[in-house]
Amino acid sequence: MINFEEELKKFYPSLEIEDAEDALYRKNLTDIADLVVDIVKEVKEEEE
C-alpha cells in the first residue's frame, strides 16, 4: 500500500514549472474577457 505521507515528503516541484509561473505572472496577458470589453468599447465608439 502507498504511504501518502512518505510520498509527499519526497515531492519537490519542478523548477521548470516555477520558472514558467514566474514568467506568466510577470506578464500582463490579455484574456477573452479583456478582448470582449475592448470590442464592446470599439462598437460603442463607432455608434457615436
pLDDT, one tens digit per residue, over 5-46 is 999 898 887 778 878 887 777 777 778 888 999 999 999 999
Residue 26 to residue 30: CA distance in whole angstroms: 13
**Grid cell at residue 11:** 515531492
What does residue 45 show for φ and ψ, rounded to 5 degrees?
A: -65, -40
Decide: helix, strand or coil at residue 48: coil
The DSSP secondary-structure symbol of 27 reads S
Domain boundaries, the chain: 12-47
pLDDT confidence of residue 36: 92
The DSSP secondary-structure symbol of 28 reads -
